[in-house]
Amino acid sequence: MFEHINLSSELERIREFATGESCAVAYHGDADGFFAAHFLGRITSVLQDHSFNVQTGDLDFNRLIAASKQHNITDLILLDINVLSAQGGLNALADAIGGRLLVYDDHFGEKVPLPSNVELVPLLPPNPQDDSIRPTSLFSHRILAASHAVNWIDDAFVVAAAFGEGVYRQFSAHLPQLSKQETDLARRIGRGINAYFTDTSIDVDDGTLLRAARDLRAAEPADPSERYASMLNSSLVKIISTAAKEVDRQVEQIVREAVTAGPWYADAKMPIYFVKVESSRRIVNLVASSLRTTVDKGIVIAVQPAAAGLAVEIRRARSMTTPNLVEALMSLNPDAVISRGGHPMAAGATLKHDGAEDAIQVLQQFVRRSIADRQ
C-alpha cells in the first residue's frame, strides 16, 4: 500500500530530522494520528518527550505555535494533520516555527504552493483510486517495522488504528491477523481513542495517552496467553473506556433522533440527512460516520458550532461512487472557509461563523444537484 514510498529512506529522513531537543511531533487527535505518533516515538526517543496533539477540527495552529515556542521547538513533524486543507494555518505555522516542517499526509485539499521550509511526503500513490486513503498510522507502523522488530502489541495497535480510521475491512489483507477476541479489543481501543480526543478540554501538550501506550508496549508479557489480559487491564484501556461510554451515548442518541426525524431532502434511494450537533465534545465527525453507517444510503451532512467556526462533516454511503465530497467543499466561497479537505467519500471543513449559513446552503444544493444528475 506504500509501494511508491521508499520506507528505509523515510526512516533515515525521520532520524536525521529528529536529532535535537528542538524537534517535536504534532499529531491529529484521533486514533490514526495518535498511533502514528506512537510508532514514530518508538523510532526516535526525541519525539517521545515532545509531542503535541492538535484538534484539527478547529485547526488550532495558534495553540500549536504557542506550545512550540514555550518548549523551544523549531522543527515539527506533522502526522495526519490535514494541513493541506488549511493552507492559511499551515503558512502561519511555517512562518512562526523558525525551522522546518515535515508533513506526512494523505488528504486532498487546496492546491497551492507550499512554503519553502515545508517538506511534504504524500502518502497517497501518484494516481490513486477515487476513494483512496492511506492512513498515517499504517505508514508509521511500516516505518517502525523497517527499523525494529514489531511485537504483538504493535500489531494490535495498528489494527486498532485501522478500526479507528474506519478502514479495517478495506486494508485487512495488509494488516496483522489477530484472533476474534483480540480483534474485538483492538476495535474498542481504536474507537475509544477517537472518543478520548473529542474532549475539547484536553491540552495541546497532554501526553497521558501516549505514555499509557508506551507502558503497555514495554510490558508485553513473554507468554502469549497473557497478552490479551495485559492489554484489557491496561491503563490505556481504562482511560479511553470512560470517554468511549460517554461519546457512544451521545452519538447514539443524536443518530437515533436524526433517523426518526428523517432526511432533509427525501429521495427514496438517495436521501440527504442534515444534522445539527450540540455537545461540548467535538463529535460531529463521529455523528456523521455513524449516521452514514446506520442509514446506509445517500449523503449525510452534520454541523457543530466550535470555537473557531462551524464544523461541517459530510459523508457518502459506501455503495456510492459520486459525488466527490472534496469537490463539494471546494465549491464553497474561499472567503467563508477556515479549512476544508478530506477524502471523496468523507470530508470536513470549518466555516467562519459569519456566512456559515449561506455556505451550508451552497453545500446542500451541490449535493442535491449531484444526486439529481445521477438519475
Shortest Cβ 28–Mn ion spacing (Å): 4
When the beta carbons of 80 and 154 are compared against Mn ion, the nearer one is 80
Residue nearest to Mn ion (CB): 28
* Residues 316/301, Cβ–Cβ less than 8 Å: no
Closer residue to Mn ion in complex, CB, 191/297: 191
Report the nearest approach of Mn ion to the CB of residue 257 (Å): 26
Stretch that binds Mn ion, among 24-32, 85-93, 146-154, 272-280 (CB under 5 A): 24-32
Rounded to the nearest whole angstrom, what is the least distance from the CB of residue 15 to Mn ion in the complex?
24
Rounded CA gap, 222 and 245, in Å?
Answer: 31
Under rule CB under 5 A, residue 80 binds Mn ion: yes
Query: How many other C-beta atoms can be found within 10 angstroms of the C-beta atom of residue 172?
Result: 13
Q: Does 313 bind Mn ion (CB under 5 A)?
A: no
CA atoms within 13 A on the CB side of 83: 31
Q: How far is the CB of 375 from Mn ion (least distance, A)?
A: 34
Taking the complex as a whole, the smallest distance from the CB of residue 132 to Mn ion amounts, in Å, to 15
Interacting span for Mn ion (CB under 5 A) from 8-16, 27-35, 103-111, 141-149: 27-35
DSSP state letters, 212-247: HHHHHHHT--SSGGGHHHHHHTSHHHHHHHHHHHHH
Among residues 32, 58, 60, 106, the one that binds Mn ion under rule CB under 5 A: 32
Annotate 73-89 with three-state secondary structure: CCEEEEECCCHHHCHHH
Phi and psi of 159, rounded to 5°? -70, -40
Q: Whose Cβ is closer to Mn ion: residue 30's or residue 75's?
A: 30
Across the chain, the runs of DSSP E, i.e. the strands, are: 23-28, 51-54, 75-79, 101-105, 118-122, 272-276, 299-305, 310-316, 337-343, 346-351
> Residue 115 carries which side chain, given as an amino acid letter?
P
CA distance 359 to 316: 19
- Interhelix angle 7-17/136-147, nearest 10 degrees: 90
For position 30 contacting Mn ion by CB under 5 A, the verdict is yes
Q: Which is nearer to Mn ion, 164 or 263 (CB)?
A: 164
C-beta of 28 vs 191, nearer to Mn ion: 28
Give all strands of the β-sheet with 310-316 in edge-to-edge order. 272-276, 299-305, 310-316, 346-351, 337-343
Backbone phi, psi, residue 115, to 5°: -60, 155
Query: Using CB under 5 A, which of the segments 25-33, 152-160, 309-317, 344-352 binds Mn ion?
Result: 25-33
Candidates 28, 38, 217, 282: give the one binding Mn ion (CB under 5 A): 28
Q: What are phi and psi of 279, to 5 degrees?
A: -165, 155
We find the least distance from the C-beta atom of residue 2 to Mn ion, in angstroms, to be 17
Binding mask 232-271 for Mn ion (x = CB under 5 A): ----------------------------------------
Q: How many residues sit close enough to Mn ion to count as binding (CB under 5 A)?
A: 5
What gap in Å lies between CA 76 and CA 358, rounded to an integer? 36
The least CB distance from residue 165 to Mn ion, in Å, is: 7
**Least spacing, CB of residue 90 vs Mn ion, in Å:** 16
- Return the number of the residue (164 or 298) whose C-beta is nearest Mn ion: 164
Residue whose CB is less far from Mn ion, 33 or 166: 33
Residue 302: count other Cβ atoms within 10 Å of its Cβ. Answer: 28
Q: Least distance in Å: CB of 116 to Mn ion?
A: 26
Q: Give the HSE-up count for residue 191: Cα atoms under 13 Å, Cβ half-sphere.
A: 20
Of the listed pieces 62-70, 75-83, 175-183, 326-334, which binds Mn ion according to CB under 5 A? 75-83
Q: Between 312 and 336, whose beta carbon lies closer to Mn ion?
A: 312
From the CB of residue 227, how many other CB atoms can be counted at a distance below 10 Å? Answer: 17
Total number of residues shown for the chain: 375
**Closest CB to Mn ion among 175 and 270?**
175
Q: Which is nearer to Mn ion, 30 or 60 (CB)?
A: 30
Contact residues: Mn ion, CB under 5 A: 28, 30, 32-33, 80
